[in-house]
């Protein structure tokens, strides 16, 4: 027995997280699919298990270069560096995402809104509205482990679709 991710066999839709199953059945271990980028244990803990990295510990918290932030799991473009700002919260913060890049889901705690990559469902962090930190009045608070930076002028990697 091992902890794996249950996949619906025809559509490969994600059904449950970390169910204990018999190896060799219609499940796949790790990051749901062999086609997505390989994740290390810390990345999987945040992206798949929806954990949060400690504040002020991520590589992109105090990072301001021109380029694009993409999903670490599937390479989908998520944020322009132009939308990044210093919220002083300890995580990378953005006040705008690329169109249709982010899915918003009510968090089980009933007070926050979780944000996920629309393409692959990777947990990114949480959205906060009404803090008046920028003109757009939005803070996408993102784990550095959920994203990767591609400098301006470098070609973006191909988005991995399942």
Strand order in the sheet with 138-142: 84-85, 93-94, 138-142, 123-129, 113-117, 102-106
Q: By CB neighbour count within 10 A (0-12 exposed, 13-18 middle, 19+ buried), where does 123 fall?
A: buried
- Distance, CA of 103 to CA of 98 (rounded, Å): 11
pTM over 0.85: no
Catalytic residue among 4, 71, 117, 141: 141
Tens of pLDDT, residue by residue over 144-162, are 999 999 999 999 999 999 7
- Distance, CA of 115 to CA of 5 (rounded, Å): 20
Structure tokens at 98: 């690329």
Active site (annotated) includes residue 141: yes
Share of the chain above pLDDT 70, in %: 79
Q: By CB neighbour count within 10 A (0-12 exposed, 13-18 middle, 19+ buried), where does 157 fall?
A: middle
**145 touches 58 (CB < 8 A):** yes
pLDDT at 14 over 60: no
Question: What pLDDT does residue 34 have?
Answer: 62
Tens of pLDDT, residue by residue over 97-114, are 999 999 999 988 888 999
């Amino acid at each position: 027995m091992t902890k794996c991710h249950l996949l619906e066999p025809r559509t490969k839709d994600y059904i449950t997280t970390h169910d204990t199953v018999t190896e060799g059945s219609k499940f796949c271990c790790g990051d749901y699919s062999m086609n997505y980028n390989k994740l290390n244990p810390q990345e999987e803990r945040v992206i798949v298990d929806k954990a949060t990295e400690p504040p002020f510990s991520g590589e992109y918290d105090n990072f301001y270069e021109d380029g694009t932030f993409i999903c670490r799991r599937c390479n989908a473009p998520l944020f322009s560096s132009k939308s990044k700002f210093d919220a002083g919260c300890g995580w990378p913060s953005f006040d705008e995402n690329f169109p249709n890049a982010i899915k918003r889901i009510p968090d089980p705690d009933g007070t926050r809104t979780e944000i996920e990559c629309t393409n692959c469902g990777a947990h990114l962090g949480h959205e906060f509205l009404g803090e008046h930190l920028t003109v757009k009045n939005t803070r996408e608070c993102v784990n550095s482990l959920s994203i990767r930076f591609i400098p301006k002028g470098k070609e973006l990697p191909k988005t991995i679709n399942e």
